[in-house]
Amino acid sequence: MTRRTLGVLFIVLGGAIVLTFMVRALAALASIYSSNLADAMKDNNEIVRADEAFNNVMIALIGAPLLIAGSIMLFWRLGRRPRN
Q: Which amino acid is at 7?
A: G
**pLDDT score for 10:** 94
Confidence of residue 84 (pLDDT cuts 50, 70, 90): low
Residues whose CB is less than 8 angstroms from the CB of residue 42 and which lie 6 or more positions away in sequence, other chains included: 35
pTM for the model stands at: 0.79
Q: Which amino acid is at 21?
A: F
For 31-73, how does the pLDDT look when each residue is reduced to its tens digit (9 = 90+)?
Answer: 988 988 888 788 778 888 999 999 999 999 999 999 999 999 8
**pLDDT score for 26:** 96
Residue ranges covered by each domain of the chain = 3-77
In order of 8, 31, 52, 64, 65, the CA distances from 15 in angstroms are 10, 24, 20, 8, 10
How many other C-beta atoms are found inside a 10 Å radius of the C-beta of residue 64? Answer: 13
